[in-house]
Amino acid sequence: MVNHCDECPYYFDLLNVCPIVPFSQAGEQPWEFLISFVMVLASTNVLFNFASVFYTTTNWINKIHLLPIYAVPLLLSELVLKFVLNQPRPDGACADTPGMPSGHAVASGLIFAIVCVLQMTKLIPKTYAFLYISIAVLQAYSRIHLGYHDYLQVFVGFSLGTSSALILMMFFPIYPKKDELNTKEEKLVVDQDYLYQIAMANQSPASQMV
């Protein structure tokens, strides 16, 4: 039986995204290879997904704040936490570095939390938010499908990314758009004026004549 790690192209191996169905068997297992390759694409979009969120965010202060929110937990998990815990990857994984937590899952959790906050503050449309979250969840699952991590490593990574992003947002807050605040203030003024007119209309004729 062909070992998919042995046939993994150099750049795929460098990024830790070797497909579980080797390229040489793509003709024999077309659907399995297609699914495997989709998972490879999902795994490789760690920076692309963040770059898309960064580009979509219109406020430059928020753009600057997104950098430490995303980078700090990811670097700490990859350069410190993995080697402190030193938990091996699943058998058959095409990598020999520690696997707890999954760095890709940390990135997915970060994107999940960031996008949720951006959407709640009306900084990105719902359609974009749904797309980014879907890609993030698929990216986390792809690490299990490709055999680089087990369920626990991915779960811990995703949870760590989500919680870290929410904590860092206390120090690097995401601000809503100024025009959104103005719109809410204008609506409040209109509503107060409308209620005042109703109150005046309901006054009795006798009280209006006094």
Question: What value does the mean pLDDT take over residues 68-84?
Answer: 92
Residue 28 domain-assigned?
Answer: no
- The C-alpha atoms of residue 169 and residue 61 are separated, in whole angstroms, by 13
Q: Are residues 96 and 191 in the same domain?
A: no
Q: Are residues 68 and 165 in the same domain?
A: yes
Reported in sequence order, the residue ranges of the chain that DSSP labels E, i.e. its strands, are none
pLDDT, tens digit, for every residue of 109-154?
Answer: 999 999 999 888 888 888 989 999 999 999 999 999 998 999 999 9
Q: Are residues 50 and 104 in the same domain?
A: yes
Residue 96 domain-assigned?
Answer: yes
Q: Are residues 197 and 162 in the same domain?
A: no
Crossing angle of helices 46-56 and 103-120, in 10° steps, is: 20
Kindly tell me if the per-residue pLDDT of 178 is higher than 60. no
Kindly tell me if the per-residue pLDDT of 210 is higher than 50. no
Residue 18 domain-assigned?
Answer: no
Question: What value does the mean pLDDT take over residues 148-175?
Answer: 93
Q: Are residues 52 and 136 in the same domain?
A: yes
Q: Are residues 124 and 57 in the same domain?
A: yes
Q: Are residues 80 and 138 in the same domain?
A: yes
Residue 108 domain-assigned?
Answer: yes
Q: Are residues 102 and 161 in the same domain?
A: yes
Residue 193 domain-assigned?
Answer: yes
Q: Are residues 139 and 112 in the same domain?
A: yes
- pLDDT at position 190 is 41
- pLDDT at position 202 is 53
Residue 74 domain-assigned?
Answer: yes
Of 63, 66, 71, 86, the C-alpha closest to 153 is 86
For residue 1, name the pLDDT band (cuts at 50, 70, 90).
Answer: very low
Q: What angle do CA 149, 115, 125 make, to 5 degrees?
A: 135
Q: Can you give the residue range of the structural domain that contains 146?
A: 46-176
Global model pTM greater than 0.95? no
Residue 194 domain-assigned?
Answer: yes
Q: Which residue has the higher pLDDT, 202 or 118?
A: 118
Q: Which residue has the higher pLDDT, 197 or 29?
A: 29
Total number of domains constituting the chain? 2
Question: What value does the mean pLDDT take over residues 188-199?
Answer: 48
Q: Are residues 109 and 188 in the same domain?
A: no
